[in-house]
Chains A and B, each alone.
Chain A
Amino acid sequence: MAKHATPKLDQLESGPWPSFVSDIKQEAENRAKNPKGLDYQIPVDCPEDLLGVLELSYNDGETHWKHGGIVGVFGYGGGVIGRYCDQPEKFPGVAHFHTVRLNQPSGKYYTSEYLRALCDIWDLRGSGLTNMHGSTGDIVLLGTTTPQLEEIFWEVTHNLDTDLGGSGSNLRTPADCLGQTRCEYACYDTSALALEMTREYQDELHRPAFPYKFKFKFDGCPNGCVAAIARSDFSVIGTWKDGIKIDQAAVKAYVAGEFKPNAGAHSGRDWGKFDLVEEVVKRCPSEAISWDGSTMSIDRKECVRCMHCINTMPRALRIGDERGASILCGAKAPILDGAQMSSLVVPFVEAEAPFDEIKEVVENIWDWWMEEGKNRERLGETMKRLSLQKLLEVTGQQADPRHVMEPRHNPYIFFKEEEVPGGWDRDITEYRKRHLR
């Protein structure tokens, strides 16, 4: 017997996609039955009240969560997102409904043993509802009360060896594509970098010291499977310096139809026989590929490493052997001054453990931004306000044509005084001797 009538939500139980409503109802029922005989530490009907408040929001077209919420655990300035219902009498089960962010493993690989242990903690001390995962990467435990926060923190640290994730004006939980664990395109070990950076900067992650939030994301190649270029202030994207490796016999196998283009990604529709010239050669953005009917070659100097040919013929074309990564900075969502993707700052950096070259860039940027960044100003906005030149200066980068898509078209060009013979101190009377008024 459901506690609240939810006619609108009930409609979302039909259709083929997994229904979050059915799942929440299942958890509500499980808690009501309590087959394990748990001494639930928050209201047993929490998931039912969540459905109740959600149905009310569906009717009103308005949220029913109060503004903000500041809760946490001692020692940390973030990790928990406090939240209170604005109808606590009607829905006491969600009067407190705080979210706990847990730091996920690189690439989100789990054992069932670990997940079971986590669920056991959450069943007892939380709502039983989660988000796997938050878009930054964290395991999200959705809904508990303030007194349970320290209890949960004690259990996850002592029994699961797991820490909280980040929230607030600090380093947020880093995330990576699954990299070399199961992708032949990965140019460096993204999992190792994510773990190393998470450990190295624990202090910055747990105790907000920044002007605003700051995110790391690590993509193994330009395909961007963790979307570093769009969703991290500091985006590390793998690449290589030498040429693409070509297996001519495998190229012929693609041409002959033995291997499916794009590993069969378009097999849901008949696109005709694979046409190497139309599908690869002519689509190369820098026209660097040639095919004489039996041999494929790539002009490595012109290749921009866009991944298209490799993506299309993964069994014939492989990333080079001189591997590393590019560092791009400044991606952010629209607020305040418009959306940004990251801009290229370091075209090629070594990406081998312990990743000192990458850490040096990070720390140079933080030294600058922590001092110069305004309150709630993302790195991308500081770059806009104080210029890309300044960022290159603080990271010790020599300006390079690769730093721009195209040169500026306006002539409002600043010079440094020392670059200009005679400097800025000029006497108007000297000038008047040659130019009468």
Chain B
Amino acid sequence: MAEVSFKGKTFEVDEDGFLLRFEEWSPEWVEFVKESEGIAEITEDHQKILDFLQDYYKKNGIAPMVRILSKNTGFKLKQVYELFPSGPGKGACKMAGLPKPTGCV
């Protein structure tokens, strides 16, 4: 597995650029990933989604369903894509440090 360094921090990631360990997440990770996810600047709205994903993951041990993400953050799916162009899975979950989505994708 590859290791990447950014602003003095190192992160272990898989081929798709997902963190291997949630515990290794730090604010620098978001800064590091954002460009590859087509995001120029992290706004409050971005942060709200990232915070919710992390809270939900810590509490439940899984990523929330899209419907739950929308309901709790108040962002419709269209807005989520405006914020994270590769979507809630590849975009937001990756930046939040959650494990890579699995299943029949």
> Does A207 lie within 8 Å of B102, measured CB to CB?
no
- Smallest Cβ-Cβ distance to B15: which chain A residue: A84
- Smallest Cβ-Cβ distance to A150: which chain B residue: B38
> Does A72 lie within 8 Å of B15, measured CB to CB?
no
**Complex alpha-carbon distance, A71 and B86, angstroms:** 9
Q: Mark A354-387, 1 if CB is under 8 A from B, else 0.
A: 0000000000000000110001100000000000
> Does B86 lie within 8 Å of A77, measured CB to CB?
yes
**Complex alpha-carbon distance, A369 and B78, angstroms:** 19
One of B25-33, B50-58, B87-95 at the interface: B87-95
In the assembled complex, which residues on chain A have CB atoms less than 8 Å from the CB atom of B87?
Answer: 72, 76-77, 207-208
Does B44 make an interface contact (CB < 8 A)? no
20 contacts between A and B (CB under 8 A): A67-B102, A69-B15, A70-B90, A70-B94, A72-B86, A73-B86, A74-B38, A74-B86, A77-B90, A84-B15, A167-B105, A168-B89, A207-B78, A207-B81, A207-B87, A208-B66, A209-B67, A211-B65, A375-B62, A376-B103
**Complex alpha-carbon distance, A136 and B103, angstroms:** 17
Does A422 make an interface contact (CB < 8 A)? no
Q: Identify the B interface with A (CB < 8 A).
A: 15-16, 18, 38, 62, 65-67, 77-78, 81, 85-90, 94, 100-105
In the assembled complex, which residues on chain A have CB atoms less than 8 Å from the CB atom of B94?
Answer: 70
- Smallest Cβ-Cβ distance to A167: which chain B residue: B105
Query: From residue B74, how far is it (CB to closest CB) to chain A in Å?
Result: 16
Query: From residue B92, how far is it (CB to closest CB) to chain A in Å?
Result: 11
Query: From residue B17, how far is it (CB to closest CB) to chain A in Å?
Result: 9
In the assembled complex, which residues on chain A have CB atoms less than 8 Å from the CB atom of B16?
Answer: 69-71, 82
Q: Given A72-B87, A77-B88, A77-B89, are A209 and B105 also a contact pair (CB < 8 Å)?
A: no
For this complex, into which size category does the number of interface residues on chain A fall?
Answer: 20 to 34
Query: From residue A105, how far is it (CB to closest CB) to chain B in Å?
Result: 25
**Complex alpha-carbon distance, A74 and B89, angstroms:** 12
In the assembled complex, which residues on chain A have CB atoms less than 8 Å from the CB atom of B38?
Answer: 74
Q: Which of A168-220 contact B (CB under 8 A)?
A: 168-169, 203, 207-211, 213
> Does B15 lie within 8 Å of A209, measured CB to CB?
no
Q: Given A82-B16, A169-B66, are A68 and B89 also a contact pair (CB < 8 Å)?
A: no
> Does A70 lie within 8 Å of B81, measured CB to CB?
no
In the assembled complex, which residues on chain B have CB atoms less than 8 Å from the CB atom of A156?
Answer: none
Question: Among the listed A168, A211, A370, which residue makes an inter-chain contact with B105, where contact means beta carbons less than 8 Å apart?
Answer: A168
> Does B66 lie within 8 Å of A70, measured CB to CB?
no
Does A75 make an interface contact (CB < 8 A)? yes
- Smallest Cβ-Cβ distance to B67: which chain A residue: A370
Does A137 make an interface contact (CB < 8 A)? no
List 6 additional A-B contacts (Cβ < 8 Å) besides A72-B87, A75-B81, A169-B66.
A70-B16, A71-B90, A73-B86, A75-B85, A208-B89, A375-B65
In the assembled complex, which residues on chain A have CB atoms less than 8 Å from the CB atom of B102?
Answer: 67-68
Does A78 make an interface contact (CB < 8 A)? yes
Question: Among the listed A70, A207, A213, which residue makes an inter-chain contact with B100, where contact means beta carbons less than 8 Å apart?
Answer: A70
**Complex alpha-carbon distance, A70 and B66, angstroms:** 16
**Complex alpha-carbon distance, A76 and B101, angstroms:** 15
In the assembled complex, which residues on chain A have CB atoms less than 8 Å from the CB atom of B78?
Answer: 203, 207
**Complex alpha-carbon distance, A77 and B81, angstroms:** 9
**Complex alpha-carbon distance, A211 and B103, angstroms:** 13
Q: Given A77-B87, A375-B65, are A68 and B77 also a contact pair (CB < 8 Å)?
A: no
> Does A78 lie within 8 Å of B85, measured CB to CB?
no
In the assembled complex, which residues on chain B have CB atoms less than 8 Å from the CB atom of A81?
Answer: 105
Query: From residue B98, how far is it (CB to closest CB) to chain A in Å?
Result: 11
> Does A74 lie within 8 Å of B104, measured CB to CB?
no
**Complex alpha-carbon distance, A71 and B90, angstroms:** 7
Q: Given A168-B105, A209-B77, are A371 and B90 also a contact pair (CB < 8 Å)?
A: no
In the assembled complex, which residues on chain B have CB atoms less than 8 Å from the CB atom of A210?
Answer: 66
In the assembled complex, which residues on chain B have CB atoms less than 8 Å from the CB atom of A169?
Answer: 66
Query: From residue B68, how far is it (CB to closest CB) to chain A in Å?
Result: 9
Most buried by A among B15, B16, B77, B88: B15
Question: Among the listed B65, B85, B105, which residue makes an inter-chain contact with A70, where contact means beta carbons less than 8 Å apart?
Answer: B105
> Does A70 lie within 8 Å of B103, measured CB to CB?
no
